[in-house]
Amino acid sequence: MPKPSFAVLGAGSIGCHLGGHLAAAGHDVAFIGRSPTIETLRERGLTLSTTARPPIHLTPQQLTLATSPKAASDADYVLVTVKTAGTATAGKDLAAHVPTNAVVVSFQNGLHNPATLREALPHHTVLAGMVPYNVVQSKPGTVHQGMPGRLMIEPDQTLLASFRSAGLAIEPRTDMPEVQHAKLLMNLNNAINALSGLPLRDQLSQRAYRHCLALCQREALATYRAAGINPARLGPTAPHITPYVLALPDAVFRRVAAASLRIDTHARSSMWEDLQRGRPTEIDSLQGEIVTLAAAHGHKAPANASLLTLVHEAETTPRTWTGHQLYAHLRATC
């Protein structure tokens, strides 16, 4: 039986990570991205790195590269990895070029991207997926996975088999809305990491920064309760316990949450990468989502609202904050 073919719409860090592993396993993969990214891949090829195994390099000749969504027209599966702001356009583009027998998979941050794609693609199967770990571009043409973890996706046996054959750990889930809400709790740290200017492990090792995340998560959990949302448990700690673990003294936290610190020494959040490259961030789909949901249920989320403002300011005027500075700033808003 022939291997299914793939297209990656949004050949950034996550798109290149997923598509690169599939291509290395012998799948036909079309990488669709912005011209600068595609030109880099044409010049350098694609290197996939992680601390767990030797790098994988794909030469330019091994890559199918494009800037137009037309390149997805022959794919059996289309992996959508664009930023949330580009999802509606991605859906329209795919509707114009992709046959209805193709399966579209959202591997994006935020809560509403699968629904946005389903609205644009009413005759397609659209699956929700989630990437729980950090992937950033460490240098042009190289994407680095900075921590372990398992992809999660709505069940599709062919897709699951393809990812596993490519060496990607993946788990089928029938509760993806709850998974996405749990992932959002984790992603509330993206803004804090971006403003810290530190690698993730260094940032999470400092109690003051963890206090900032705990504030954001407490507001989010209160909002979830008001909305009747029960986030899934994705790790060893239940979501409602996590803020208390984050507030532990550093030495205790290092013992209790050792698995959370199994992060590459150079790993950073994708939001930090966006700020460094002068690109718009996804803060509106992270802290902004909590602020909007809280308002809809008569609540406020001042710490999340403050971080929303600070990141938007940093998009035009970069600034780094120490943990104590940031925590004092957030406390003053609560």
pLDDT in tens, 241-256: 999 999 999 999 988 8
**Is 10 in contact with 81 (CB distance < 8 Å)?**
yes
pLDDT in tens, 235-292: 888 999 999 999 999 999 988 877 666 778 878 899 999 999 899 999 999 999 999 9
Contacts of 327 (CB under 8 A, 6+ apart): 208, 209, 211, 212, 215
**Is 110 in contact with 15 (CB distance < 8 Å)?**
no
Among 9, 165, 130, 157, smallest CA distance to 79 is for 9
- Domains of the chain listed by start with CATH number: 6-174 (3.40.50.720), 178-333 (1.10.1040.10)
pLDDT in tens, 142-176: 999 988 899 999 999 999 999 999 999 999 999 99
Judged by DSSP in three states, 58 sits in strand
pTM over 0.85: yes
Q: What is the layout of strands, in order, in the sheet containing 64-66?
A: 64-66, 29-32, 6-9, 77-80, 103-107, 125-130, 151-153, 170-172
Cα separation, 66 vs 208, in Å, equals 44
Cα separation, 33 vs 68, in Å, equals 8
Strands (E), the chain: 6-9, 29-32, 46-50, 56-58, 64-66, 77-80, 103-107, 125-130, 135-139, 142-145, 151-153, 170-172
